[in-house]
Amino acid sequence: MTNAWTLTGGETLLPDGFTDTDLHLSGGRITADRPDDAQSFDASGAWILPGIVDLHGDGFESIVQPRPGVHFPHALAYAEADAQMIANGITTGYHALTVSWEPGLRDIAISRALVASLNDIAPRLACDTRLNIRWETFAIDHVDEVIGWLAARPGDILSLNDHTTANRALDDDSAKLKRMAARMHLSPADAKREINRIWDRRTEVPAATDRICERATALGRPVMSHDDMTVEDRLTGRARKVTIAEFPMSADAAGAARDAGEHVVLGAPNALRGESHNGALCATQAIDAGLCTVLASDYYYPAPFHAVFRLHDAGVLPLAQGWALISANPAAAVGLQDRGTLAPDQRADLLVVDKQTRHIRAVFVNGRKVLDRG
């Protein structure tokens, strides 16, 4: 399959804004000049945009297990997630893989199998697929294993999550506990007992968190803090060299990150819907206030693409600036210096989007046309 192309007739989003210019691809990279063997792609009436870099997509879990107890083969799930990501313009995607103390869907044995399956299938996927390893801070027994994965898989990133502290306060009849229990294949009462059991090890959590952060940063892996509530949470993370605030719950926590020049990741479904589904920080308001630099798909792969157009239509950000939330900024946040913008020598990851319909006409990954809707 050829990867030498010249895209003609489109309006291309370059680092300094939109311009009417041809875009040349060769050898998986963007080039300044047209390759001698280039095929032409007619992008008339379309925008040519950088591919979407999605730092947190846990919609994958609902493909692995669409109903409680219904578990599909991991290779099939990865292939289906790949098709969905490419169809929605995601050319670099980080599956949010939870490493937990829980039984059920998030059992460590399933996490191990998912890592092994991705190692096998990744070369056959169209999207550059990586892992955002969501280590639950009470998963104390799995620290060394996670460090081993980070050492063996240099493209992955680490996210620190503590859902145990909040879940411990759930009432026995709460809807959230019931959902969690279904995921764990337990009754709500048994799920609550499991939460209380692991809570008894809470004094071990700070040392385990210090160690995993120290090793991850020594390996050069970006580390995110998940669901920061307060300025103090952000300061604690920064002391551990956690450089990205992922889904902060308050404007104060997001502001503390931005004041330090750190990236802030919020959910694209939040920005697309115009509100948080759980009453947390509103992404639209945060973006308008300069408190958010990155949008991630979270649980819904179409969200990043459509959220940027909603922000444009609502007058929050013009398209060129809004697109950086899902391309240049996430790439920069995790140190991917070879993508996120359309400039010479960058990876040729890009979308062709019809201006009138806003439908994705084509997707190119590493210079290969992997989707063509005519």
Taking the CA of residue 285 as centre, how many other CA atoms within 13 Å lie in the half-sphere pointing to its CB? 11
Quick check: 224 and 241 in contact, CB under 8 A? no
Amino acid at 38: A
Residue range 51-338, CATH number:
3.20.20.140
Look up tokens 């995993």; give the residue.
212
3-state secondary structure 344-367: CCCECCEEEEECCCCCEEEEEECC
Beta strands in the chain (DSSP E): 5-8, 11-14, 17-20, 23-26, 29-31, 39-42, 46-50, 52-57, 90-99, 128-136, 157-161, 223-226, 244-246, 263-267, 294-296, 350-354, 360-365, 368-372
What pLDDT score does 1 carry?
56
Instruction: Name the residue ranges covered by the structural domains of the chain.
Output: 1-50+339-374, 51-338
Q: In tens digits, what is the pLDDT along the chain, a chain of 374 residues?
A: 568 999 999 999 999 999 999 999 999 999 999 999 999 999 999 999 999 999 999 999 899 989 877 889 999 999 999 999 999 999 999 999 999 999 988 899 999 999 999 999 999 999 999 999 999 999 999 999 999 999 999 999 999 999 999 899 898 889 999 999 988 999 999 999 999 999 999 999 999 999 999 999 999 999 999 999 999 999 999 999 999 999 999 999 999 999 999 999 999 999 999 888 777 889 999 999 999 999 999 999 999 999 999 999 999 999 999 999 999 999 999 999 999 999 999 999 999 999 999 999 999 999 999 999 97
Measured CA to CA, the distance from residue 355 to residue 205 in angstroms comes to: 51
Measured CA to CA, the distance from residue 330 to residue 53 in angstroms comes to: 6
In what helix (H) or strand (E) does residue 85 lie, and over which residues does it extend?
helix 74-87
Q: What angle do CA 228, 181, 187 make, to 5 degrees?
A: 145
Quick check: 315 and 277 in contact, CB under 8 A? no
Superfamily of domain 1-50+339-374: Urease, subunit C, domain 1 (2.30.40.10)
What pLDDT score does 229 carry?
94
What tokens were used for 21? 């210019």
